[in-house]
Amino acid sequence: MGKATITLLLAACLLSACSNSGNTGSQAAEKTPQPAAATEAAETAASPAPEVTASAAPEATASPEATPAAASDAQVPLLYHMNKNYDIVPNDPITNKKVVLLTFDDGPKEAELINPLMDTLDKHKAKAIFFVNGYRVKEHPELLELIHKRGGVLGNHSWDHIVLKDKPEAEVKKQIEDVQRIVKEITGETPHFFRPPHGAGGDVGKKIAAANGMLYMTWSNGSLDWEMKAKDAGKTEKLIKNVTDQLHSGSNILMHELPWTVEALDTLLTTLEGKGYSFVDPRSIELKMR
């Protein structure tokens, strides 16, 4: 071959190599986004969607059918029963017996009393029974709702707060069952505990309470807060002394929705805790006396 021919062949080879190299780079540039997009799609499909999780949680929490009270009711085991002295007694010897039951009668009265009372109970992680009168509930159903929504356990204290033991059976039945009915209408639940006014229900009161699935009780430790008057000095100290003087394991403590009782409650509960007592959850008490 002549030099001119060789030169032309070399030039042609060089041009062909450059052309192939340019095409390869262009194809690579076009194909690069495709794997990245596919990878992103795969990762998105494999990851949980935060939007779904975030929207689901509030709906479950806010459901009115799953209230904290309803949920906790199902979780409270029956650890205690009531004896004939109306004391709270553990079912099992290994269960803590150094407990007291907190109860408040004659409500519901005023939100200005109920809210601070409930605040104090919450502070001490304590539950209490609120024995309500039907005529008060009828006048202020919103106060019954307040107690219920704040976790108070509702009890039946008859409609008119009258002495029941000498009344005809039909009247006693109406006094008790009308309260069951109105509490059910307002809260969706019926009381499981009955306390007769003045502690005087008689055999008929016990019979009708049992027929309505309620545990009949009076009390075994009276605060005597009902004997105090607004003008009396030292009411807080007197109330605490009245309770501690009678204090014993299983004390069923009677109190009322009164200003001085609300004022004394935090100190009273702190005092009881200092003596080694805790507060029994009423829902852990069997509804049959032993």
What is the set of active-site residues? 105, 256
* Exposure string for 207-240, b = 16+ CB within 10 A, e = fewer: ebbeebebbbbebbbbbebeebeeeeeebbebbb
Q: Tokens at residue 253, please?
A: 């403590």
Buried b (16+ CB within 10 A) or exposed e, 40-71: eeeeeeeeeeeeeeeeeeeeeeeeeeeeeeee
* Ramachandran area for residue 168 (φ above 0: left; ψ -120 to 50: alpha; else beta): beta
- Type of residue numbered 93: P
* Beta carbons of 8 and 1 less than 8 angstroms apart: no
Q: What are phi and psi of 62, to 5 degrees?
A: -85, 0
Total Cβ atoms within 10 A of residue 143: 22
Quick check: 240 and 271 in contact, CB under 8 A?
Answer: yes
CA 182 to chain centre: 22
